[in-house]
Amino acid sequence: MTDHLAARVAGVVGPEHVLRDADVKASYETDWTRRYSGDARFVVRPGDTAELAESLRILTEAGVPVVPQGGNTGLVGGGVPRGGEVVVSSSRLSSLGEVDAVAGEVTVGAGVTLARLQEHIRAAGWNFGVDLASRDSCTIGGMIATNAGGIRVLRYGPMRAQVGGIEAARVDGSVIRRLPGLAKDNTGYDIPGLLAGSEGTLAIVTRARLRLIPQLAGRAAALLAVDGVAAALGVVSVVRAHAPSLEAAEVFFADGLDLVLRHTGLPAPFPDRAPCYLLFECAARDDPMGELVGALEAAGGFEASAVASERSQRARLWAYRERHTESINAEGVPHKLDVALPLPRLEEFEACVRGTVKKAAPEARPILFGHIADGNLHVNVLGLAADDDRATDAVLRLVAELGGSISAEHGIGVAKTRWLHLTRSESDIAAMRAIKAALDPANLLNPGVIFGKQ
């Protein structure tokens, strides 16, 4: 059956775009975290929307489940096979439309990487509201499917807020096409909004019309040492109020910084080690350094600071934050938790979470960092076997008790399905299941993701 199916799909996409050799499939079968992997029946790389839709129709008509995959930078196992699915890769959906300078929008293929999009629109004088550390690999389709967040959510919102229109293939091979280039369109359900965050369970995104933001050439960054989350939140609230150019407010802690310094060989940012660090970036047409420094002076409450305007100097400050993920990975395979708390409960969460982990699994080592203005902390837990969920369970329960969400940006994937009920109500889940059943009645699109095994 696989031979026959592969041959039919090859008839649509060309035989060189149906990958069956174990060596060639391998990079599509294991995710970036190395925690999730499964055997793919084969991998298909359609070259355009029509090829993708027709391949999907052939596969689902045969009752074969499908896993859509973008840049494979997901962190919750939602983009790799669990065993026996066909992987539909967006890698060849790489069209880059001309920037519509009047509307401030562009239409691009789902397989375009974020870095490629940034390069394309910067050449036309524009920028994009979402930016993330995995920009060189993550794709627009995957970012929409996961409603990616990143470092600028506080100013521009998550991926959902950037999507003005969408094209997506449904499970029966039909194509939803809402690429209107209309700033206002109140004609029924918001399909782009629904597909954003649907994790490939409702349809496969093939193209998107994206809202752009003006390119702001003036940039200023500051790294601060503070003595804890309470002080950090105090600084953040004043900086937000005083610096309208604020684009990013990130946090990390002493143990994470130690790990980054050890792994990267970077020099320590300040002579003294501090419990907590804040990283701010402002962006404006003109140099926002005066505004940032003025806001920091108004805030006070920090022990040491370093500021930078020039690109390489800013990158030097960002490295302390952005190199957390790789430094943690170098120590082992972490359990990756990505939680959001209401800002008034963030201090309590940070004060409790290390103890919570220790109590659940004494040998576990939690490292925290994240997007403080969004109340979003990445809790990476090292030192536990892949199937040891003691720390995960305890941390996610703490999050639920404090009124948070078990996933702020990475999604549920297959990693968090067991805990979805902690922060989504029964009626929420029933409504989501009804949507899933309406759009994918045979459960062939990314089965197991969000809801777990049916």
| Site for ligand 2HG, rule CB under 6 A | 133, 325, 336, 378, 380, 409
Q: Classify the C-alpha dihedral 199-319-329-44 as positive or negative.
A: positive
Tokens of 120: 């394309």
Tokens of 194: 């629904």
Closer residue to ligand 2HG in complex, CB, 178/336: 336
Closer residue to ligand 2HG in complex, CB, 41/354: 354
Distance CA 56, CA 39 (A): 19
Closest approach of ligand 2HG to the CB of residue 115, in Å: 15
Closer residue to ligand 2HG in complex, CB, 54/374: 374
Closer residue to ligand 2HG in complex, CB, 41/365: 365
The answer to whether residues 93 and 207 touch, using CB atoms and an 8 Å cutoff, is yes
Closest approach of ligand 2HG to the CB of residue 451, in Å: 23
Give, as one character, the DSSP assignment of residue 175. Answer: E
The answer to whether residues 111 and 167 touch, using CB atoms and an 8 Å cutoff, is no
Closest approach of ligand 2HG to the CB of residue 132, in Å: 6
Closer residue to ligand 2HG in complex, CB, 82/378: 378
Distance CA 223, CA 221 (A): 7
Closest approach of ligand 2HG to the CB of residue 122, in Å: 22
Closest approach of ligand 2HG to the CB of residue 31, in Å: 12
Distance CA 376, CA 387 (A): 25
Distance CA 101, CA 99 (A): 6
| Phi/psi at 30 (5° precision) | -125, 140
Q: Identify each DSSP E strand in 134-215 by its residue range.
A: 163-169, 175-178, 204-211, 213-214
Closest approach of ligand 2HG to the CB of residue 133, in Å: 5
Closer residue to ligand 2HG in complex, CB, 305/329: 329
Closest approach of ligand 2HG to the CB of residue 380, in Å: 5
Give, as one character, the DSSP assignment of residue 446. Answer: S
Closer residue to ligand 2HG in complex, CB, 90/380: 380
